[in-house]
Structures are given as C-alpha cells and as structure tokens.
Amino acid sequence: MSRIIVLPKDVVEKIAAGEVVERPASVVKELIENSIDANAKKIRIEFWRGGKKEIIVKDDGIGMSREDAILAFKRHATSKIRSEEDLEKITTLGFRGEALPSIAAVAKVEMITRSEEDIVGTRIVIEGGEIKKVESVSAPRGTTVKVKDLFYNTPARKKFLKSVAAETSQIIEVVTKYALAYPEKHILLINEGKEVFNAPPSDDLENIAYVLGIDIAKSMLRVERKEDYVKIEGYISKPDKTLGNRSGMHIFVNGRYVRDEFLYDSVISGYRNLLFRKRYPYCVLRVEVPPDKVDVNVHPAKITVKFEDEELLRKVITKAVWEALIPQRLTPKPDIPAKTRVEVKREIQAKKLPLEPKPALKEKTPERIEEFWGEYRLPPMEILGQVEDTYIVAKYSGGIALIDQHAAHERIRYEKLLRSMDEKKYQNLIAPRVLSLSKREIEEIYQYREDLEKVGFEFEEFGENTIAVRKIPVVLTRDVEEFLRELLSELRRKRFVKKSEVLDEIVKNVACRGAIKANEPLTEEKMRAILSDLRKCENPFTCPHGRPTVIFLDKEAIEKMFKRTV
Ligand code: ADP
Ligand code: MG
C-alpha cells in the first residue's frame, strides 16, 4: 500500500483558503477590495461578533451577470488579468481569483448581484465550497456578499480566532485603512448595528477627520512630493502627536494598503530625530509608482510589496516628510516645560517670523533650509557654570537653561557627521592603519563595509587576516581599532535584522563614542564651544537617541515655583 496519496479536492481547497482567509478581517479586506475594483461609490460593511458570526459587504459597483457570478467562485477565476504579461501592470486590488473561492470553502456564503445590463439579479448560496442554490432575484445594481459562520467546517482554524473584541478591532483597522485610502468613496462601517464611522465622499483632510477624528486631523501637516517616477502625497502628524506603536501609520501604494517595515521606516527617518524614542507618528500617505516598478505579488494577502528601486522610494519619502516638517519650527513638546514653548513662540513672533511656510520655501534648496532653521536656533546664552560635572547652567533673556553636556555634544557630533557624509568629507590617514582584528571581526567589517564607507571609513585588504584603514569619519576622535571593535560588538549585541538600521546605528555610535561624557569637568571655553555649536544645530533640542539636550526654566516657571504667581 502506498503511503502517499493525492489529497481530495475539498481538503486542497481548505488548505489554499488558509493562505487568503486567516481571520474575519481578511474576509472583510478581500470583499472591500472587490467592491473597490468593481468601481463602487458606496460600500457598506456590517458585521456581528467580531465577524465570526456574520459579515455583510454591500456595494453599488458594476455587479456581475449570472454566468460570471458562478465563475467568480471558481479558483483562479478572475476578470482582472488575462495573461502573464498582465501581471506586470496590475491596476486592480485583486487579480489572483482566490478570495471568493477561499472564503466560500470555509464559510456559508450568499451573494446577490446584478450588473447594469441585466434586468434581474442573481442569488447564489454556497457552503463549504459547494454551490447550493442559484436563482434569479430582484436586486439593485451592485453586489452584496454575506459570509456566515466562518470556519464552521474547519474547527481547528476556528479555535485560533481571537476574542470578539480582538477580531472587531482588526476589522475596524482594515476598514479604516480603506476609508483613508479612498476619501472619494462613501464608506460606512457598522458593528452589531452601531455605526463605527460614516465617511461620505470628501477631501483628504476632512476624510481623516471623519475616520480618525478631528483631533488628529488638526495636527496634520500636508506632504507632497514628486520625484523621478515616484509621487507621494498625504498627511503626517506633527512630532508631538504620536503613538507608542505604528497603528496610526497608514501607507498606501497605488491605492493598496501595505504594512511594510521598509515604508514605515522611511517615514520615521523623515522625522530625523524629532520623534522621541519609541514614539510613532500618525500618517496617511499615498505613494504612487508606475505598476511595473512595484511587485505586489509577494504575499498572498498582499500586505507587503517589493519595489524595483527601494533606495529611490526611501529617498523620496524621507525627503517629503522632512520638508513637511521644516516650516513648522518644531520643538519636541513633552520634555520642554510648557511655558517655555509659549515664550519661544512669543520670541519668534516678536522677530516676525512666518508661522506659515513662506511661499518661496515651497522649492527648498539646501541653503534655504539652513537659513530657515537659522531663525529657530536656541536663544543666545551666557554661561553661569557647571553643576555635578554634568550639566551646564546658563542664562538667557527669558530665564535659565540647563544643558546636558553629553546629550548636547552627541547632537553636535551627530549633525557634523551627517554633514560630512553629505559633503563626502573624510579624514585621510597619513599612513594606512593596519588593524589587528579577529577573523570574525574582519568578516563583519566586510559585511557592514558599504555602510561603514558611507560614514567615511575606507578599508583595503592587506594580508590574509588583516585589514587596513585609509580614511576615517571626520568626527572620529577615538582610536579606530578600539572604536570598530566596540561598534561590532554593539551590532552583534543588537542582532540586527534590518540592513536599513545598520547605517543609523553606525552613525549614532560614531557620534556618541568620543562625545564629552557626564561627570567630566569642563573649562568655560569648552562649555562656550558646546553652546555655540548646539545653537547651530538643525535640531538642537534632542540628542540622536531622542533625549532632551536642553531644559528651559523661564521667568514664569521660576515665579511659579516661588509662588509669586499662581
Ligand atoms: P480577484 O479579485 O482576485 O479577481 P475574487 O475571487 O476576489 O478574485 O473575485 C473573482 C471575480 O469576481 C473578480 O475578478 C470579479 O470579476 C468578480 N467580483 C468579485 N466581487 C465583486 C463585486 N463586489 N462586484 C463585481 N464583481 C465582483
Ligand atoms: Mg478579489
């Protein structure tokens, strides 16, 4: 007797369904995508018990003929592509022809649909992949799909479903994404008979207010940029409106929502260090690229995508985000006493600085950016002394400032390093320095070589087990060998998975190691140099890790502490 058998069709169907239909939210996602592909103007999503009991998605799209409605439930039956070449230029959300058959394999499904040309509509009942009924019914144009008792025939999968609350929140998340991606559509979400949101056709910002709430909409900054073949537009929140996770970040690629680390990262790096550690912004960003520059066929549920040129994407997104932030003269809020911000604002207004970006700034050249930030450096300060060998105390026209000498110096070195990288400035060593590193360390240097070279190192192979350094970053004040050894052990300790984070880590390490430390007595001259350099920083308010560099105690705050005012 043979041990191997070919699986029966219904088992195969159930296995395949697992790829597309993981949970109620994936059903909702597929059905909304179908409605959008069918050009619906209005989509109504209703569900019960976290979608485990029932999900109904109703649209006013193009609908289907009786013949197509039956075909739609066949695996790999689609109206969206015809041949392999079409895969290169997909403009619809679906194309695999897998959603309906997959859903039907693991639930009780009813579909009512009518196309423009037909007088009567079609009703199909299908359970566990088996068509039970096909009949003519009267129906409005469009399609309604009801999905009942998900996983009723796959108890093992059913067990893996989470609580009603958890499944509910996933469904809300999915629908939120689509509601944000398609402001021109009317999207209505109803849970157990209660409206979650109702977003009629509106402009982008209004739509954000409908879906995410007025509060968030108010904090949003417009992002817009076109470069090469990449177009990006939408909104990002100011750095003081953040969340402890990425759930506020909504990114769409060619109208398809994606949850891609690489894209989240690009947006976050656009904030440079305006965000505090472990804080994530809100954003609603639409990225458009020609369909042949992106592969959406990476994941069956199509949540990640693959770009032909990731670097270009990263560059455009990062720039777009940064440019939206610049005119806002943003100082991170949480760590600076509230009064000071008022004070700073007053100062700015006294200097008659524009609160809105000047029209001329629309096309920003690097020089203009410098100038603009120039207006917003720290106030002039006069040194009073150093306390605890760690903090510089200074006075400014409005009060007292405390500066964390290490954080400040890190910031200064960090920006200097970034500038030198932009300008490709390095220190040439008079004679190449031969390093005595272990075999493992040398291998690691090769592994990170590209990023190390971006920062300003240049290596050459020397002997079998040796490596020589020719150039080092401008700000490196430590012994090269010692520095590299520490850096490698740090990278090892953090076990980097993402290549994109290596460069940042190297930059921060160069900036941090060799910076003035805490518990280090400083001469007045040294302190003066720190303050003057800090004032010239683009973002003097935080260190590269997001800690504050300076705290202001203004007159009002001091008076309050002495209870002179209430
Ligand atoms: P895909 O979307 O990948 O083509 P599906 O299984 O989701 O595969 O749907 C199969 C086909 O059924 C679609 O190609 C489309 O022609 C049709 N269809 C599905 N949902 C709708 C809808 N809401 N309105 C009109 N046609 C639909
Ligand atoms: Mg589909």
pLDDT digits 0-9 by tens, 385-428: 999 999 999 988 778 899 999 999 999 999 888 888 888 888 88
Q: Are residues 253 and 364 in the same domain?
A: yes
Q: Are residues 63 and 186 in the same domain?
A: yes
- Does ligand 1 have an atom closer than 6 angstroms to the CB of 297? no
Render 528-547 in DSSP notation, one character per residue.
HHHHHHHHTSSSTTB-TTS-
Q: Confirm whether 2 is domain-assigned.
A: no
Q: Confirm whether 554 is domain-assigned.
A: no
Q: Confirm whether 535 is domain-assigned.
A: no
Q: Confirm whether 549 is domain-assigned.
A: no
Final residue of a structural domain among 341, 360, 377: 377
What pLDDT shows up at residue 7?
A: 78
- 262-274 b/e (C-beta count within 10 Å ≥ 16 → b): bbbbbbbbbbbbb
Here the tokens at position 328 are 């806002």
Alpha carbon separation from 87 to 81, 92, 260 (Å, rounded)? 7, 11, 21
Q: Confirm whether 389 is domain-assigned.
A: no
For atom 20 of ligand 1, the residue with the nearest CA is: 34
What pLDDT shows up at residue 364?
A: 34
- Does ligand 1 have an atom closer than 6 angstroms to the CB of 32? no
- Does ligand 1 have an atom closer than 6 angstroms to the CB of 43? no
Final residue of a structural domain among 196, 218, 239: 196
Q: Confirm whether 220 is domain-assigned.
A: yes
- Check which CATH number belongs to the domain holding 187 and give it: 3.30.565.10
Rounded Cα distance, 65 and 249, in Å = 39
Q: Are residues 168 and 213 in the same domain?
A: no
Q: Confirm whether 24 is domain-assigned.
A: yes
Alpha carbon separation from 74 to 19, 92, 95, 131, 551 (Å, rounded)? 16, 19, 13, 11, 65
- Does ligand 1 have an atom closer than 6 angstroms to the CB of 92? no
Q: Confirm whether 102 is domain-assigned.
A: yes
What pLDDT shows up at residue 412?
A: 93
The neighbour count for residue 380, using CB atoms within 10 Å, is: 11
Domain that includes residue 13, residue range: 9-196
Q: Are residues 207 and 192 in the same domain?
A: no
Is 96 in a helix, a strand, or coil? coil
- Check which CATH number belongs to the domain holding 495 and give it: 3.30.1370.100
Q: Are residues 224 and 117 in the same domain?
A: no
What pLDDT shows up at residue 566?
A: 62
Q: Are residues 452 and 487 in the same domain?
A: yes
Kindly report, residue by residue over 435-464, the tens digit of the pLDDT. 888 888 888 898 899 899 989 999 988 777
- Check which CATH number belongs to the domain holding 357 and give it: 3.30.230.10
The neighbour count for residue 44, using CB atoms within 10 Å, is: 18
Q: Are residues 213 and 336 in the same domain?
A: yes
What pLDDT shows up at residue 556?
A: 79
- Does ligand 1 have an atom closer than 6 angstroms to the CB of 124? no
Here the tokens at position 471 are 């150039």
Q: Are residues 148 and 238 in the same domain?
A: no
**Most ligand 1 atoms within 8 A of CB, residue of 100, 110, 118 to mutate:** 100
Final residue of a structural domain among 377, 409, 442: 377
Alpha carbon separation from 152 to 55, 98, 99, 157, 397 (Å, rounded)? 14, 19, 17, 9, 72
Alpha carbon separation from 316 to 274, 320, 409 (Å, rounded)? 18, 6, 30
Q: Are residues 260 and 133 in the same domain?
A: no
Q: Are residues 53 and 156 in the same domain?
A: yes
This model's pTM is above 0.85: no
Residues with pLDDT less than 70, the chain: 1, 17-18, 90, 296-302, 327-377, 496-497, 566
Q: Are residues 432 and 487 in the same domain?
A: yes
What pLDDT shows up at residue 335?
A: 34
- In the chain, the number of structural domains is 3
Q: Are residues 254 and 154 in the same domain?
A: no
Is 372 within 8 Å of 361 (Cβ atoms)? yes
Rounded Cα distance, 161 and 49, in Å = 12
| CA geometry: angle 290, 294, 298, nearest 5 deg | 150
